[in-house]
Amino acid sequence: MIRFDAVSKKYPNGTTAVDGVTVELAEGAITILVGPSGCGKTTTLRMINRMVEPTAGTVSLRGRDIREIDAPELRRGIGYVIQHAGLFPHRTVLDNIATVPLLLGWGRKKARARAAELLERVGLPAEMAKRYPNQLSGGQQQRVGVARALGADPPVLLMDEPFSAVDPVVRAELQTEFARLQKELHKTIVFVTHDIDEAIRLGDRIAVFRDGGRLAQFDTPERLLADPADDFVAGFVGQDRGIRRLSFVRAAGLPLRDGPVLPVTSPVAAARALDEPWVLVVDDARRPLGWTPVADLPVSGTLADAALVPLGHTFSLAGDSARAALDSALLSPARLAVGVDADGAVVGVADAHELTAGAAPTDRADVAGSRTSGAGSRTEAAGSPVAADSAGGDR
């Protein structure tokens, strides 16, 4: 729906901000533009609402060359969120949110009603409507910034490092809210960040830019991690991309074994008979109660008399990723991850080695083939992806 066709931006002083970018951004999806500072990602973003005009190539929106559209008119139909929110200090929160509806001539009453609705939508209490921006915290300002961008319900939203000026805790909160909001709204979002973690967490597609304004790779997050196009991209996504990749692998497909699992009613002797250092004790519905070291078991009686060590955490085969599974293996006292079903009953266990072997990409050729098209299908089977927003669940 947003199409860049051989787009370049060269400045009179000879610097090239964007160099021959051709890319198509899908409707209703979040496309992340990421790269080191000065790589042209913000310039690319601003070319979409004509804040920057390309020196070559065309940008089109729903098949229409945006140069045919009057700039202010174009911009009123595109939401825009920036790093420091850029709220109007002289207008109340409500009037800030009502800005674009008012510009579009909605009338004050209708615009304010819409603004009040949006205020609630971004999770701010109604009494904040009458406040001025400088009376809000950074996180609250950013929420108002998002609400303002949604003012006239634009189909397209441009976001320029919207969450990078707030502290990490608030940032994570805003990211979660943002992902939730997008599930309801299905906007076409172009999102600039320099934070690869944020990109992987939020993006449906990621465009990695390199110095000189060239597009290094355009892919889904999982492919970016699995198969970076070159050393630059590999370096940019980081050394731990192998582990991060597991976020996109569903736990459901992981190989589990029955392992040392016994109901709490079992006699101690049964535990000893398994010849394992640790035994997982479960209740009558097979819900896990805790690990117990076999060496410390009482001489007789049942496992109800055993001292239990907390589980660490389990992972759910229904919703979690392989990364959550691996994490649970590493944190478990027995070094075994416990997989549970939707009811919380133990399905099986696996150690870190078994988990990573099971989560490895099954078909390299499939991954490599999709890189150039940029619109390749997602990996199947054991590598089947989970929704990007739940990738945050394991942090």
Residues near other proteins, by CB under 8 A? 49, 51, 71-78, 80, 82-92, 99-100, 103, 132-135, 145, 148, 158
Q: Which two tokens stand for residue 24?
A: 């198509």
DSSP structural state of residue 139 = H
Nearer to other proteins, 134 or 239 (CB): 134
The residues near 332 (Cβ < 8 Å, ≥ 6 apart) are 291, 311, 312, 338
Cα 13–Cα 17–Cα 18 angle in degrees, nearest 5:
135
> Position of tokens 């109660």?
289
Min dist CB 190 to other proteins, Å, is: 13
> Position of tokens 């990723």?
321
Strand 336-340 to 2-10 pairing? unpaired
Min dist CB 90 to other proteins, Å, is: 4
Please say whether the beta carbons of 289 and 261 come within 8 A.
no
Strand 214-219 to 205-210 pairing? antiparallel
The residues near 331 (Cβ < 8 Å, ≥ 6 apart) are 312, 313
CA distance 263 to 281: 6
Strand 56-61 to 205-210 pairing? unpaired
Min dist CB 31 to other proteins, Å, is: 18
Cα 178–Cα 179–Cα 181 angle in degrees, nearest 5:
60
Min dist CB 47 to other proteins, Å, is: 12
Nearer to other proteins, 139 or 385 (CB): 139
Please say whether the beta carbons of 131 and 122 come within 8 A.
no
Instruction: Give backbone dihedrals phi and psi of 79, rounded to 5 degrees, phi first.
Output: -75, 150
Min dist CB 362 to other proteins, Å, is: 45
Please say whether the beta carbons of 22 and 1 come within 8 A.
no
Nearer to other proteins, 148 or 210 (CB): 148
Min dist CB 51 to other proteins, Å, is: 6
The residues near 203 (Cβ < 8 Å, ≥ 6 apart) are 30, 31, 32, 191, 221, 388
Nearer to other proteins, 48 or 382 (CB): 48
CA distance 217 to 100: 35
Min dist CB 160 to other proteins, Å, is: 9
CA distance 211 to 39: 4
Min dist CB 107 to other proteins, Å, is: 17
Nearer to other proteins, 86 or 293 (CB): 86
Nearer to other proteins, 29 or 51 (CB): 51
Nearer to other proteins, 11 or 378 (CB): 11
Strand 78-82 to 156-160 pairing? parallel
Min dist CB 339 to other proteins, Å, is: 47
The β-bridge partners of 24 are: 3
